[in-house]
Chains A and B, each alone.
Chain A
Amino acid sequence: MTEPSGDVLLEISDLSLEFRTYRGPIKALNGVSLNVRAGEIVGIVGESGCGKSVTMMAATRLLPKGSAHITGGGIRLFGNDPMTLSERELQHVRGRLVSTIFQEPMNALNPTRRIGEQIVEVIRRHQRLDKAAATSKASGLLRDMLISEPERIMQAYPFELSGGMRQRVLIAMAFSCEPKLIIADEPTTALDVTVQALILGLIKHKAMSTGTAVVFISHDMAVVSQLCDRLYVLYAGRVAEAGTTESVLAAPAHPYTRALIRCLPGLAPPKQPLEQIPGTLPDLLDPPAGCLFRARCREANDRCVSVPPLAAMEPARRAACWRRIEETQAA
């Protein structure tokens, strides 16, 4: 149970970030640490608003300039701090080294341009290929996405395609420049369940065959467990638990992870009402002191009024919970 070796592509250490609004700063991230190595598939799980997307958008500097402010910690993306890169360098990093698959395939393609043009533009932006070569490359990529008539699809406008088809086109675009890292931001959330499995399979297959690392953002524990080598569970802008997928699923350490797993319909006994986690995310305008999950936690005690560190539990496994830390110390 060791973390896969290889180059660290992305390293986020103790990152804190806030959005300055007229009501005051919203502390979206409160010390997130994570890393992604070459060729692995890493899952980031958590409910809406816990900072999954914000973390990854901060890494590629796609957050709006005016309102998002990094207040602590750092990001190393391919050895560089993205905050110090010039616009030109950023354009090189985006697409060539990192690319992103977005949540809403319906809106992620320009409605006024043909599919083929859009893919070819992305390819030619980063690679020295003439139009014919880029076109044939694009059709090969679409074929890899199990699209039977790539030439016809490339002549189509986005509105002529279904959501699943558009998402396949977008995945093809994301892989088109052979990036080292792909950020998949809930790529299946807007799709129906039958297409979901297919899309996940396509991403996984393509990533493994090209050796691309994938950061897979999802709120769905079941989806993440199918796909990922390692997991980070985020809660209210902090890492609650991190470890390999098998170990986290087999023995979740943090009460929040346990609750998430209990909420899965597939694993609950039939005809029983599904479990839910009582309460809501804490107010990030004015976060309470101590463990942020305390108010919703079944196991909370007096120690939880101070912030638990992300402590190592067993090899390659960490969790931020005083209970587990006590148990580890006792053992």
Chain B
Amino acid sequence: MAADGIVTSPRPAARLRAGRLWYRVKESPLTLVGAAIALAVLFVIMAAPLLAPYPPDKISLAARLAAPSPQHLFGTDEVGRDLFSRVLFGARASCGIAFAIVIISTFIGSIIGCLSGVVGGIVDTAIMRLMDVFLALPALILAMALAAALGPSLFNAMLAVAVVRVPAYVRLARGQTLSLRNRTYVKASRSFGASPAYMLRWHILPNALSPIIVQATLDLGGTILTAAALSFIGLGAQPPTSEWGSMVSSGRNYFLDQWWYVTFPGLAILISAMGFNLLGDGLRDMLDPRLGGR
């Protein structure tokens, strides 16, 4: 037994990551609901052509503004397009754009933030003050201004919202970097001769990632809303693209008599935004050690 004390080897690894994740998730049904909605949205995005009963742009003047029925589950719009099909295809524009925005702003934001934290000094101050300027303006107004300046299109709306979202990630990544920079393993790595680029890539970024992922998931819901809002006021997706925000916008004229026109795209926005928020909340509870987990 004496040799055991000296020559130790690790315990049979407790590396049941997936199992542990499932254990935590099933403790919180809301996270499960969020995850289910997120998966459903992803499925719809990929399988929209298979699921939709009609092409989204198929005009049928005979069936203008038809009420929901077995032929048209969500009814039709003013030119007789099937709203169910349009809502399904709208997931591509509305949620797809939200994913793109979050991925772009997370990527750019965390790189700028980590660099800012590592370099420090005047560069850091300059970057952070610029970000403060962005944050000082209301997000939607700034996105509107940018989208209007770039010209109304889905792609420009995406760029505008992505730019507006960047500062949040910069601040998050910089805060993480500042606290990680003083960790012993970062100092140890310097003492073994690591270059700043190496430290950034292997020590700072991977360890800063978990709160950034949580923030990104939480942001998906908000981004869906912002993107829909831009399309609603006509700065995002242009007709005839099916997009939830622009559908609500054109349906608003018929709201009193043809309730289904605004309701179903609106519900799609509500449910998908809520789903991503629930998922993000659940992820935060699981990944954030400061909240203690459950």
List residues of A whose CB falls within 8 A of some B CB: 60, 62, 87, 90-96, 98-100, 102-104, 107-113, 121-122, 125-126, 146-149, 152-153, 156, 160-162, 164-165, 170, 173-174, 177, 183, 194, 198
Chain A's closest residue to B195 (CB) is: A91
Contact A100 B191 (CB under 8 A): yes
Interchain CB contact (< 8 A) of A126 among B8, B183, B193: B193
From A60, A92, A149, A198, contact of B9 by CB (8 A):
A149
Return the contact of A148 from the options B9, B14, B184 (Cβ within 8 A).
B9
User: Do the beta carbons of B185 and A60 come within 8 Å of each other?
Assistant: no
A residues less than 8 Å from B189 (CB atoms):
110
B190 to nearest A CB, angstroms? 6
Contact B193 A152 (CB under 8 A): no
CB-CB contacts below 8 Å: B265-288 with A: none
Instruction: Give A95 to B194 CA distance when docked, in angstroms.
Output: 8
Q: Which of B6, B10, B187, B196 contacts A152 (CB 8 A)?
A: B10
Beta-carbon contact of A146 and B6 below 8 Å: yes
Q: Output the nearest chain A residue to B7 by Cβ-Cβ distance.
A: A148
Cross-chain contact B184 with A104 (CB below 8 angstroms): yes
> Any chain A CB within 8 A of the CB of B22?
no
Which residue from chain B places its CB closest to the CB of A152 in the assembled complex? Answer: B9
CA distance A93 to B193 in the complex (A): 7
Interface centre among A126, A148, A183 (most CB of B within 10 A): A148
Q: Of B10, B11, B188, B198, which is in contact with the most chain A CB atoms at under 10 Å from its CB?
A: B188
- Give the dominant DSSP class at B's interface: helix
**B13 in the interface (beta carbon within 8 A):** yes
B7, B8, B11, B196 — most chain A CB neighbours (10 Å): B8
Quick check: B187 and A113 within 8 Å, CB to CB?
no
Contact of B192 with A164 in the complex, beta carbons under 8 Å: no
Please pick, from A94, A111, A194, the residue contacting B207 in the complex, using a CB distance under 8 A: A111
Give the residue of B5, B9, B11, B187 whose beta carbon is less than 8 angstroms from that of A194. B5
Complex Cα–Cα for A106 and B229 (A): 49
A92 touches B184 (CB 8 A): no
Known: A94-B193, A110-B185, A160-B14. 9 other contacts (CB 8 A): A90-B193, A94-B190, A95-B192, A96-B193, A103-B184, A108-B184, A111-B185, A122-B193, A170-B188
Q: In whole angstroms, how far apart are the Cα atoms of A62 and B191 in the complex? A: 7
Which residues of chain A are within 8 angstroms of B198 by Cβ–Cβ distance? 121, 125
Residues A107 and B9 in contact, CB atoms below 8 Å apart: no
Give the docked Cα–Cα distance between A103 and B184 (Å): 9
Chain B residues within 8 Å of A, Cβ to Cβ: 5-11, 13-14, 183-185, 187-196, 198, 202-203, 206-207
Return chain B residues, CB-CB under 8 Å to A108: 184-185, 188
Please measure, in the bound complex, the distance between the C-alpha atom of A108 and the C-alpha atom of B5, giving whole angstroms. Answer: 23
Closest A residue, CB atoms, query B189 = A110
Interchain CA distance A149-B6 in the complex, whole Å: 12
Asked if residues A109 and B185 are in contact (CB atoms below 8 Å), the reply is yes
Supposing A113-B202, A146-B7 touch, asked if A99 and B187 sit within 8 A by C-beta, the answer is no
CB-CB < 8 A to A99: which residues of B?
A: 191-193
- With a cutoff of 8 Å between Cβ atoms, the chain A residues found around residue B207 in the complex are 110-112
User: CB distance B194 to A102 under 8 Å?
Assistant: no
In the complex, chain B residues whose CB is within 8 Å of the CB of A93: 193
What is the bound-complex CA distance between A103 and B183, given in angstroms?
A: 12
Q: Are B191 and A107 within 8 A (Cβ)?
A: no
Residue of A nearest to B193 (CB): A95
Q: Which of B10, B187, B207 has the largest number of chain A CB atoms within 10 A?
A: B10
Given contacts A62-B190, A94-B192, A112-B206, contact A107 B10 (CB under 8 A): no
A141 to B209, CA, bound (A): 32
CB distance from B198 to the nearest CB of A (A): 8
Most buried by A among B184, B196, B207: B184
For A194, give the chain B residue with the smallest CB separation. Answer: B5
Query: Which residues of the partner chain A approach B196 to less than 8 Å between Cβ atoms?
Result: 87
Instruction: Determine if A91 and B10 form an interchain contact, defined as CB atoms under 8 angstroms apart.
Output: no
B188 touches A100 (CB 8 A): yes
Q: Which residues of B contact A153 (CB under 8 A)?
A: 9-10
Q: How far is the CA of A94 from the CA of B198 in the complex (A)?
A: 15
* Chain B residues within 8 Å of A121, by CB: 194, 198, 202
Name which residue of chain B comes closest to A173, CB basis. B192
- 5 A-B residue contacts at CB 8 Å? A95-B194, A102-B188, A102-B191, A177-B193, A194-B5
